[in-house]
Copies of this chain bind each other. A is one copy, B any other.
Amino acid sequence: MNPNPIEALAEQFEKFPGIGPRQAKRFVYYLLSRGFNEIDQLSLQIKNIRNSVAQCNLCMRMFSLSLPRLNRDSHNTTNTSENSINHSVTLCSICENKNRDSGILMLVSKESDLEAVEKSRAYKGLYFVLGGTLAVLEKEPEKKIRSLELINRIVNATNIAPTNTNLNPVSEVILSLSATTEGENTAEYIKRILKEIMEKRALKFNITTLGRGLSTGSELEYADTETIRSALENKK
């Protein structure tokens, strides 16, 4: 580690997504301008962040436990309003919500995608967070996204969450990925493995993908052929 504390901390911030050396340095000087209390507070929040979240065994998302827990070992014993943990099963508020349609499973690549969909209040099924996307010609896809966990989620849901009595078998999987090259490449890969397990396990469910069309703000003049085609198919 850099012996110079300012440089050393700046190097940490440089690892943050989208942060270059200059902004990293500015973060450090910003902190130096704050009071000890504010700095200690931030330091504590960072220290506890991993303990104050849990990973849902069903959808694999990271979610906040209402009460930050300072003791790492007590992980699976607390019980909070936002999630129920028993028999060492951790479920997020969405996965344990009996009012949601547990037969529909939407695949998203990351938590922030899930949040965007929740914000729209347009979806009432469950989710599965893949944890990434696949670049074209990705050598080891199963290391980039949770493909094995996905299969397990679809096949063994009831074993994963035996307590979740209202968990229906998956009848539809919605591929909810960005309309980008990586997103489409990921969708192609997922479709392939989903079809495989349908055969192997004699399962049957629909595989759907989000509709394409003009997204808010886009101008017809600049729309590409595929967007226009879909916009026409989806006219209403």
Interface residues of A (CB under 8 A from B): 3-9, 12, 15-18, 22-23, 25-32, 36, 39-50, 52-53, 62-66, 68, 72, 108-113, 115-117, 119-123, 174, 176-180, 183, 208-236
Identify the closest chain B residue to A32 (Cβ): B62
* Contact yes or no, B211 A22, CB < 8 A: no
Copies of this chain, tallied across the complex: 4
Residues of chain B with a CB closer than 8 A to A220's CB:
108-109, 113, 116-117, 176-178, 183, 210
**Least distance between A4 CB and chain B CB atoms (Å):** 5
CA distance A91 to B12 in the complex (A): 27
Closest to A62 in B: B32
Pick the residue among B28, B66, B119 that contacts A3 (CB under 8 A). B66
A128 to B50 Cα, complex, angstroms? 42
Select one of B12, B50, B179, B230 contacting A218, CB under 8 A. B179
User: Does B210 contact A213, Cβ atoms closer than 8 Å?
Assistant: yes
**Given A32-B49, A233-B211, is A112 in contact with B25 using a C-beta cutoff of 8 Å?**
yes
The CA of A178 and the CA of B46, in the complex, are separated in Å by 35
CB contacts (< 8 Å) of A228 on chain B: these are 116-117, 120, 122
Given the complex, which residues of B lie within 8 Å of A36, measured CB to CB?
Answer: 50, 72
Q: Which residues does chain B contribute within 8 Å of A176, judged by CB atoms?
A: 220
Given contacts A64-B5, A178-B218, A178-B221, contact A18 B23 (CB under 8 A): yes
Q: What are the nearest 3 A-B pairs in CB distance?
A: A211-B234, A213-B213, A5-B52
A111-B29, A112-B25 in contact; A213/B214 too (CB < 8 A)?
A: yes
